[in-house]
Structure 1
Amino acid sequence: MEQNQQFFHAHHSPMGALASFTVGEFGAHGGMGLELGAPYAGNVFIGYQDGEGVVNAFPFYKGAKDQSERYVQKDDVSSLKEHIFEDVNRDYRWATDGFAAPGISFKIITPFFDIPDPQLAQQQKLQQACCPAVYVELTFDNTSDQDWTGFFALQGDELRWNKLIDGGEQGLVGVSCRDQIGIASQHPNARAFSHFSVQSALSKMGNNECFMLGPTAGLMIDVKAGEKVTVPLVLGFYLAGNVTYNRAMQYYYTQHFTGLQQVLAYAVNHFDDYAAIAQQNDQQLAASKLNQHQQFLVAHATRSYYGSTQWLFDGTESVWVVNEGEYLMMNTLDLTVDMLFFELQQNPWTVKNTLEQFVNHYSFYDEIFHPDQPEKNYRGGISFTHDMGVANNWSPKGQSSYEMAGLDRACFSHMTYEQLTNWVLCCGVYISKTGDAQFATEQRGRLIDCLQSLLNRDHPDAEKRDGIMSFESARTEQGGEITTYDSLDHSLGQARGNIYLAGKSWAAYLAIAKVMQDLGEQQQAELALTAAQRCADKLADSLDPQLGYIPAVLDGHSSSAIIPAIEALVYPYEMGLLDAVSEQGPYARYISALKTHFSFILNENYCLYADGAWKLSSTADNSWVSKIYLNQYVARKVLKLDIADNVASDAAHQRWQTIGASQHACCDQFSSGKPIGSLYYPRCVTNILWLQE
């Protein structure tokens, strides 16, 4: 990794705990945060005091940029010289994140693995999967002829610490705050401390190592001259009791751990097991055919996904939630459909769990209207909400936290049509990938309802259908629907007549047809296939020979060019419907038109930046990298277009994360390489598909 890209924040999270040890940016706040949509506003101190009394530390705290090397005079009467490591080597892999400076190195270990189905798995496997801890291997290499004191500490204005009690039996040494976060080790020479600051503790102000008024706490260890010492330590998280509102739920880990102390003990005792899993994760990514930039992007996305996950228990069964990064919206359906491929690889039960939650709590039947006759409503059909709530507050049944009536194709309007396609696509891909015949049978009637709802939103009169969305949901109250690209211009933000969304409806029809065929519902399958053909023909016919591509919105006015015209091909491809995406198949004209479209626009005149980075729309300087990753896969793997394979593009997208978004962990929404929203975000795991190339 280039030196100027070494310092950037990254999530380091257990699976399903909505918790993150965020660290890595030079001179920025970070630390252990619970249920946050941003890095914790604290400081991380890792380093050692050498034999000359100099405090050497990594620059992972606010103000480090101003403290490269200076004397510090504090109220606590310490007067120590500080030296901040600026030449730091970082080794960023899939499940480990290593930092090295003279005399010191540390590795943050965040293993991930298949989360077993809670209804089927053994209790010990579930306990292993839900343990809310992060693992750190801290090494001091004292080649000098004087003794050192090493330290690992956290600081926060509102934090007050206590020494771990009853740790003797387990050999645990450490500190905790409010029984919610803690640091622990079994190393025999480690000692716990809390004080005003690391400096005040090292200055031995007073003779109380655990001074409870201090907001800084952690572990210290003496390192003799010529000695090399490695200290394994764990960072534990724990929230007891109900943590959600309107529908009371607890964290699933409370079913296996009675409190923070037990989490820390279990994590310390199984440190080597988790470290071995992380090593396997790292080796798997390193052995892939991905270039170094792609490997980085996969690792970065995976961390942010797990940092947003929440494995809950409602008193009867597990409930899976992925929070929407900085916004903390719960199970946003237009993210679910993109994270689908990662979850199906890791733990398919979470996809089924989310689909069932939408059916049971966040589905509805609506009416529709045509913009030319907004006062006249027609029967619409079933659809699903944008999300399930926000910041642990479950929305009322059939409502989201995001969607608002009375808006015309503007941010926060309803996404009724897109969420309908999203639920269908998740359902179809899940059934195809897992072979879950029981779930398919259970959803038979619902999928038939979804088919009719899609058809109605094309046109209630079957004779007037042209394959794409023409009617709006009455939930908008005479407004207009939008897509997941909610803050973009009409090229991708508007739902009606949008070729991105039309492609998803084509894929949804194919998904319904596949499930219906397998269930023996031939009449419904034929109805869906007819609709898919109608949609494909409409889009193929819309290739404008004068423009050289298909305009983004089929309204007779748009001239925007968009990359996501090809996006929906991923769904039939992943369902194994290879004939559907072939130039020799039933939708050959459509596939050929998409190839022509994409080949024409992937250049600096339309959808490329000068450095090779992709731009989703020619008329909006606003891109979501999760969608770029997805469309890269489609262009390379499905359409087999060499033009989409460019290392310079991958390097540019890496710079977006490590330079542009260095303070926000993995981000999704960028303008010219600068993050403008969707910070701290989970959706970028669409790039898991690259491992199939």
Structure 2
Amino acid sequence: MIPENPDFHAQHSPMGAHSSFTLGMHHANSGAVSEKGSVAEGATLVGYRTASGQYHYFPFFDKLESEKERYVSDENAEPLPDVIFSKENMQREYLWATDKFSAPGVQMEVISPFDSIPDPAKASDDEMRFASCPATLVRLTFNNQSQEDWQGFFALSPDTRWTALDNDNNRQIIGGVSRDQLAVATTNQEAKSFMDFTHDTALDRDHSRSHFLLGQTCGLEITVPAGAQKELVLCVAYYLENKATFNRTSKYYYTKLFADIKHVINYAMSEQDRYFALAAKRDEELSSRTDLNDEQKFLIAHATRSYYGSTEFLIESDKPLWVVNEGEYLMMNTFDLTIDMLFFELKFNPWTVKNILENFVSHYRYYDEVFSPENPEKLYPGGVSFAHDMGVANQFSPEPFSSYETSGLDRKCFSFMTYEQLCNWVLTAGVYLGQNKDADFFTRHRGIFQDCLTSLLNRDNPDPEKRNGLMSFESSMTKGGGEISTYDSLDHSLGQSRNNIYLAGKAWASYLIIHKLFKDLDTKVSEEAFSAAELTAKALCAGYDEDLGFIPAVLENNNKSAIIPAIEALVYPWEFGAKEYCSENGPFGDYIKVLKRHFNNIHNTDTCLYPDGAWKLSSTADNSWMSKISICQYVAREILKIDLKEASAQADLAHARWQREGAKYHACSDQFTSGKAIGSLYYPRIVSNILWLKESAKH
């Protein structure tokens, strides 16, 4: 896949190390960093120097400045003008695991292999070591067809200092390391390492010391004779030895398998052929999908990189602990991201889903009461729910609270998401069970499912005779305020929880999953859940406004907003394996027909499309999340069987441009206003687009 505009950042990350080597945007900061939800503040210098002294390099830096100028002045210096490759003489091939940059005389491939992370309870140390090695491989190819020798080079220039890994007595590893946490290294014996103020002060030294430790640039060089071609494979390695999290003590899992950063480097370099083969396998898997267009392939590749850049594979008291950070916000295991990344994790790492679910049960489960907005002082039995997240910036929140939610707010950002997170646990656990048949998990958490059903019903109305299938009661956690949904920064069309049709769809799906799980075990629970689903579907069908041509987003206060995510929740019974509930000919056929009419009537530029064909989640808010669009596209095409071929191609191009242009500095981002990234930067949730790989070609 060759993107129409190659000028954008992408993350390149090992699995579970919460580290990223980010580059790709021209004339911008780039580099490698750990535990940061943004681009490194540095430069990546890749290219070659001719014997006559001219530099040719990729434009992966903002501006070249040298701290040397603070110390010395050289008024007589007249270097040859640099050649910085431009868009016109560069090409970028963007594959699922390989990001390849080509320019005259040089090619750089950044390799990000990924595969299933084995279940630590079942896998050997060798399997776990291969999966969790915290390093990213870079393959440089220099093709010197000139008449003079070159020096090929690769260097990082962050705001840090380095020490050499190689010396006269030890040349096993060649490169540099910063505080034993970040390294640039190779085992290629033809290479030499350097440290200096900048790459040019290193390669044009006026002194004899190759490792000048006052400088902040560290790199590798290799001689490329005239007429020759040379390859240099190196790695960017990471290693954080001490505890990774606070309030709960854990370390990165790789510390169990690698003694130090030198061990990481040696292993990554010795296994480079296996990693290259794995990357090639992933690249071919996506490239060969003729039913996907190039923009879909681009978006899947872009999202996958961003997802892994946010992951932490930890070990706590000798047990694995999986954390996905919320991009720039660094919130840990945000539940309304977990449910959307579910489909990717079930494809590659199902054990991580169970790990997160059980941590919510053991640490971030709470029981509340509920109240009617008409009388907030009178409390009724509520039930179980779960926190929005587990903490922020590697600090676990005090149990059972999240870092995000606070009381006293009425349907505003940072209020509680009690109802949504309740649905999220049921749906995530249900789809996990539907695809993995984990009888032990269900046996241990059967009571939680029953508690969830009671809790859902009480939030409709504590009085069974007054229930209408919709959330009407608020959580006491809000202290008299109103709950919100994951669409926290939108208007009330998607922001508020009460009587919201998006959340009603999630409740409908939750009831059906509980019904199916208990069908052969507890008739009373199963029938109660099914009856609740029927009531919800009936309320949503009744909410359809013939004059408007859709179901208003919130079924109160004469709301007239149209939202695409009314269809979103169909994905859960479908992926659970209960596809009959998503059929026009099934027991909820009337509901499915209404949703189809709803979508067809709002999927236009007058309502929920931008002029370029991009999707607008709400007709009354210029604010869209790419992750949610991806799910709804899958639902519309695969589940509702709506023919969107031409419209989808137009939308895919528009959405890809959101990333390559609107979020070009922030790598893969989620939240956009009119195509410009405004939040949810450097984000993992867009990996929900893995669902596209399951679509039938005809749709």
Same fold (TM over 0.5): yes
Distance 2:643 2:154 in 1: 48
Shift in alpha-carbon separation, 1:224–1:166, aligned structure 2, 3 A: closer
Q: Give the letter for the 1:251 counterpart.
A: Y
Partner of 1:303: 305
Q: State the Cα distance separating 1:165 from its structure 2 match.
A: 4.6
Residue 259 of structure 2 aligns to a residue whose secondary structure is: coil
| 2:549 aligned partner | 548
Q: Is the 8 A contact 1:73 1:79 kept in 2?
A: no
2:361 aligns with one of 348, 355, 359: 359
Partners of 2:324 and 2:688 lie apart in 1 by 14
Cα offset for 1:220? Answer: 0.7
Alpha-carbon offset, residue 576 of structure 1 = 1.2
1:168–1:621 Cα change, 3 Å: farther
- Describe how 1:17-28 pairs up with structure 2 within 5 A: 17-28=17-28
- AA partner of residue 533 (structure 2): A
Show CA shifts across 1:42-96 (max 9, x none). 11100111233111111101127x99xxxx9994646433121003100000000
Match of 2:162 in 1: 161
CA distance in 1, matches of 2:3, 2:542: 50
Does the 8 A contact of 2:3 with 2:93 survive in 1? no
Q: Does 1:466 align with 2:456?
A: no
5+ residue gaps, structure 2, are: none
Residue of structure 1 in register with 2:238 after alignment: 237
The aligned residue for residue 219 of structure 1 is 220
Kept in 1, the 8 Å contact 2:2–2:92? The answer is no
User: In the alignment, which of 387, 391, 394 is matched to residue 392 of structure 1?
Assistant: 394
Counterpart in the other structure of 1:59: 59
How does the TM-score come out when normalised to structure 2?
A: 0.96
Distance 2:497 2:236 in 1: 45
Taking structure 1 as the reference length, the TM-score comes to 0.97
Distance 1:677 1:574 in 2: 29
| AA matched with 1:538 | A
- The whole-number CA distance in structure 2 between the counterparts of 1:4 and 1:640 is 30
Using the alignment, how far apart are the partners of 1:187 and 1:441 within structure 2?
54
- Asked if the contact 2:45–2:58 (Cα under 8 Å) also holds between the matched residues in 1, the reply is yes
Asked if the contact 1:599–1:643 (Cα under 8 Å) also holds between the matched residues in 2, the reply is no
Unaligned runs of at least 5 residues, structure 1: none
Within 5 Å, which residues of 2 pair with 1:347-386? 347-386=349-388
Aligned CA-pair RMSD = 1.6
Counterpart contact for 1:76–1:196, Cα < 8 Å: no
2:225 maps to a residue whose letter is: K
Deviations 1:154-177 (A, max 9, x none): 0022x1111105897773211111
CA–CA distance in structure 2, aligned partners of residues 491 and 168 of structure 1:
68
Supply the distance in 2 between the matched residues of 1:82 and 1:412 (Cα, whole angstroms).
50
Secondary structure in structure 1 of the residue aligned to 2:644: helix
Give the corresponding residue for 2:587: 586
Q: Which residues in structure 2 correspond to 1:613-624 (within 5 Å)?
A: 613-624=614-625
Structure-2 separation of matches of 1:514 and 1:170: 62
Amino acid at match of 2:425: W
Q: How many residues are treated as equivalent by the alignment?
A: 686
Q: Structure 1 residue 188: deviation in Å?
A: 2.0
Query: C-alpha displacement at 1:570, in angstroms?
Result: 0.2
Structural mapping, 1:474-553, within 5 Å: 474-518=476-520, 520-553=521-554
For the residues of structure 1 that align with 2:362 and 2:479, how far apart are their CA atoms? Answer: 25
C-alpha distance in 1, partners of 2:72/2:523? 80
Correspondence list, 1:219-368, <5 A = 219-288=220-289, 289-368=291-370
Q: Secondary structure at the match of 1:204?
A: coil
> Separation in 1 of the partners of 2:269 and 2:129?
14
AA at the equivalent of 2:45: F
Q: For the Cα contact (< 8 Å) 1:489–1:620, is it kept in 2? A: yes
Whether the aligned pair in 2 keeps the contact of 1:167 and 1:173 (CA below 8 Å) is no
Residue 2 of structure 2 contacts residue 94 of structure 2 at CA under 8 Å; is this kept in 1? Answer: no
1:417-428 alignment runs, 5 A limit: 417-428=419-430
The CA distance in 1 between the partners of 2:70 and 2:480, in whole Å, is 65
Query: Alpha-carbon deviations, 1:446-475, whole Å to 9, x = none?
Result: 100000000000000000000010000011
- Are residue 41 (structure 1) and residue 44 (structure 2) matched? no
Within 2, Cα distance between the matches of 1:2 and 1:291?
12
The amino acid that maps onto 1:9 is H
The aligned runs of 1:122-133 (5 Å cut-off) are 122-133=124-135
CA contact (8 A) 1:249 1:313 kept: yes
2:296 and 2:654 mapped to 1: Cα distance?
A: 11
Equivalent position amino acid for 2:417 in 1: M
C-alpha displacement of 1:316? 2.0
Amino acid paired to 1:340: L
Of the candidates 141, 147, 150, which is equivalent to residue 149 of structure 2? 147
**What is the identity, as a one-letter code, of the residue corresponding to 1:643?**
L
- Show the counterpart of 1:672: 674
The one-letter code matched in structure 2 to 1:477 is: K
Among all aligned residue pairs of Structure 1 and Structure 2, give the percentage whose two residues are the same amino acid.
53
**Cα shift readout 1:397-424 (whole Å, capped 9, x = no counterpart):** 1100000110000000000000000000
